[in-house]
A and B are shown apart, each in its own frame.
Chain A
Amino acid sequence: GQNIDQPTEMTATEGAIVQINCTYQTSGFNGLFWYQQHAGEAPTFLSYNVLDGLEEKGRFSSFLSRSKGYSYLLLKELQMKDSASYLCALGGYKLIFGSGTRLLVRP
């Protein structure tokens, strides 16, 4: 089976850096996705990792360690609009989502 764990909620300050962790267990790995979801809206794609290491996309970076079943999403220079839920998901024929981490950015 597959299982994904993320913290439920995090708080950070505007302009700071925050790291959102995701740990997973899976019998077959087909990549790990990160999505952003604002309240009541559709998830939007942020990043994808299939190999170990760091993928950088502007203010957002995602890291993967397959041997540890671990990923994190790093958000730099936080802005108020980054207040949202961040969803970690295992790729494959069926995309399996974690429950998401709600990030609150304070002034």
Chain B
Amino acid sequence: EAQVTQNPRYLITVTGKKLTVTCSQNMNHEYMSWYRQDPGLGLRQIYYSMNVEVTDKGDVPEGYKVSRKEKRNFPLILESPSPNQTSLYFCASRPERLAGLNEQFFGPGTRLTVL
């Protein structure tokens, strides 16, 4: 089944404790992206990747890191989480040909709480 998976789905952590949220897709998509969703603010892009070893900042990259060593995986790293990073996070992917014309496929979401 074609899908985007994320782990963990739920995470409660404490300020400053490094964490990684994994994202994997099995559709051979070039483009992958991370979003956070907060009430009243909608979906905001954190980072995106056009292909392996190519990443770029989205609209709200502060406090996050990403890597793209393999085509299928795009982990999101919070080196020192803070309470303002409490949010619902979505990973997404799409094929890169005809860049803007393709729908993105979203993972199920990761609900992160930083105490």
Contact = CB atoms under 8 A, between A and B. Distances in A.
Contact of A33 (B59, B99, B103): B103
A96 B41 CA distance: 12
Contact of A93 (B35, B100, B111): B100
B108 A41 contact: yes
A70 interface: no
Contact of B45 (A40, A44, A95, A99): A95
Interface of A is mostly: loop
B63 to A, nearest CB: 19
A50 B45 CA distance: 22
Interface residues of A, number: 23
Contact of B42 (A33, A41, A91, A97): A97
Given A48-B103, A93-B48, 10 more contacts: A33-B103, A40-B88, A40-B111, A41-B108, A87-B42, A87-B43, A92-B100, A94-B59, A95-B33, A99-B41
13 contacts: A30-B100, A30-B101, A41-B108, A43-B43, A43-B106, A87-B43, A93-B99, A93-B100, A95-B33, A95-B104, A96-B45, A99-B41, A99-B42
Interface of B: 33, 35, 40-45, 48, 50, 58-59, 88, 90, 92, 99-101, 103-109, 111
